A and B are shown apart, each in its own frame.
Chain A
Amino acid sequence: MTPELKGFLLLGLVKAAVGFGLLLLGVAFVTWLERRQAAFHQDRLGPNRVGPFGLFQPIADGIKNFIKEELVPADANRVLFLLAPALVFTPGLLLFAVIPFAAPMPVSFDFTLPLLGRFVYDDAMPMMIANLPIGLLFVLAVSSLGVYGIVLAGWASNSKYSFLGGLRASAQMVSYEVALGLSVISVFLVAGNVTLTGVVEAQQAKLWYILPLTLGFVLFVVSALAETNRLPFDLPEAESELVYGYHTEYSAMKFAMFFLGEYAALITMSALMATLFFGGWDIPFTSWDEGEPSVVASLATLIVFIIKTFAFVFIYIWIRWSLPRFRYDQLMALGWKVLLPIALGYIMLLATAIWLLEYFNVEQDLLYGLILFVVNLPVIYVLFWILDSGRLVFGHGLQRRITS
Chain B
Amino acid sequence: MLVFNFWLFAGLAMISALLCITRRSPVVSALWLIVTMFSIAALFIILGGQFIGAIQVLVYAGAIMVLFLFVIMLLNLGRGEPTDIPGWWGKAITLGIGIVLIVELWAVTRIVPAGEIRLPAGTMEQVMDQQGAVGAISNTLFRDYLVPFEIASVLLLAAVVGAVVLAKRRL
A interface list, Cβ under 8 A from B: 80, 132-134, 137-138, 140-142, 144-145, 147-148, 151-152, 155, 163, 166-167, 170-171, 173-174, 177, 193-195
Interface 0/1 of B39-63, CB less than 8 Å to A: 0000000000011011101100111
**CA distance in complex: A138, B55 (Å):** 9
The answer to the question of B167 belonging to the interface, with a C-beta cut-off of 8 Å to chain A, is: no
Residue of B55, B70, B74 with most partner-chain A CB within 10 A: B70
**CA distance in complex: A379, B62 (Å):** 30
Chain A nearest Cβ from B51, distance in angstroms: 6
Chain A nearest Cβ from B167, distance in angstroms: 16
The answer to the question of B155 belonging to the interface, with a C-beta cut-off of 8 Å to chain A, is: no
B66 and A194 within 8 A (CB): no
**CA distance in complex: A184, B132 (Å):** 18
Chain B nearest Cβ from A173, distance in angstroms: 8
B interface list, Cβ under 8 A from A: 27-28, 31, 34, 50-51, 53-55, 57-58, 61-63, 66-67, 69-70, 73-74, 128, 132-134
A174 and B134 within 8 A (CB): no
**CA distance in complex: A177, B58 (Å):** 10
Chain A nearest Cβ from B71, distance in angstroms: 10
Q: Given A145-B57, A167-B70, decide whether A133 and B62 contact each other with a Cβ distance below 8 A.
A: no
**CA distance in complex: A195, B133 (Å):** 9
B69 and A141 within 8 A (CB): no
Further contacts, 4 of them, CB under 8 A, given A141-B61, A144-B62: A133-B132, A140-B58, A141-B55, A173-B66
Nearest 9 Cβ contacts at the A-B interface: A144-B62, A141-B57, A137-B54, A133-B133, A141-B58, A134-B50, A141-B54, A134-B54, A134-B133
B67 and A174 within 8 A (CB): yes
A140 neighbours in B (Cβ, 8 Å):
54, 58
Residue of A134, A163, A177 with most partner-chain B CB within 10 A: A134
B62 and A145 within 8 A (CB): yes
**CA distance in complex: A141, B53 (Å):** 9
**CA distance in complex: A170, B62 (Å):** 11
Chain A nearest Cβ from B80, distance in angstroms: 16
A151 and B69 within 8 A (CB): yes
A137 and B66 within 8 A (CB): no
Chain B: which residue is nearest A181 at the CB level? B58
Chain B nearest Cβ from A34, distance in angstroms: 28
A155 neighbours in B (Cβ, 8 Å):
27, 73
**CA distance in complex: A100, B57 (Å):** 22
Contact of A174 among B34, B54, B66 (CB under 8 A): B66
Q: Given A145-B61, A151-B66, decide whether A137 and B134 contact each other with a Cβ distance below 8 A.
A: yes
Contact of A177 among B31, B55, B63, B73 (CB under 8 A): B63
B73 and A148 within 8 A (CB): no
Q: Given A134-B51, A141-B62, decide whether A194 and B57 contact each other with a Cβ distance below 8 A.
A: no
Chain B nearest Cβ from A92, distance in angstroms: 15
B66 neighbours in A (Cβ, 8 Å):
144, 147-148, 151, 170, 173-174
**CA distance in complex: A138, B70 (Å):** 24
**CA distance in complex: A382, B28 (Å):** 45
Offer 30 A-B interface pairs, CB within 8 angstroms, sorted by A. Answer: A80-B27, A80-B28, A132-B50, A133-B50, A133-B128, A133-B133, A134-B50, A134-B53, A134-B133, A134-B134, A137-B54, A137-B55, A137-B58, A138-B54, A141-B54, A141-B55, A141-B61, A142-B57, A144-B61, A145-B61, A151-B70, A151-B73, A155-B27, A163-B73, A167-B70, A170-B66, A170-B70, A174-B67, A177-B62, A177-B63
**CA distance in complex: A34, B51 (Å):** 37
Chain A nearest Cβ from B142, distance in angstroms: 12
Contact of A194 among B28, B61, B70, B134 (CB under 8 A): B134
**CA distance in complex: A144, B63 (Å):** 7
B134 neighbours in A (Cβ, 8 Å):
134, 137, 194
Chain A: which residue is nearest B56 at the CB level? A141
B128 neighbours in A (Cβ, 8 Å):
133
B67 neighbours in A (Cβ, 8 Å):
174
B58 neighbours in A (Cβ, 8 Å):
137, 140-141, 144
**CA distance in complex: A167, B54 (Å):** 25
Q: Given A138-B54, A145-B57, decide whether A166 and B73 contact each other with a Cβ distance below 8 A.
A: yes
**CA distance in complex: A134, B135 (Å):** 10
A174 and B132 within 8 A (CB): no
B55 neighbours in A (Cβ, 8 Å):
137, 141
B133 neighbours in A (Cβ, 8 Å):
133-134, 194
**CA distance in complex: A174, B134 (Å):** 24
**CA distance in complex: A280, B66 (Å):** 32
Chain B: which residue is nearest A135 at the CB level? B133
**CA distance in complex: A145, B31 (Å):** 12
**CA distance in complex: A138, B62 (Å):** 12
**CA distance in complex: A151, B27 (Å):** 11
Chain A nearest Cβ from B148, distance in angstroms: 22
Chain B nearest Cβ from A400, distance in angstroms: 31
Chain A nearest Cβ from B1, distance in angstroms: 9
B70 neighbours in A (Cβ, 8 Å):
151, 167, 170-171, 174
Chain B nearest Cβ from A340, distance in angstroms: 14
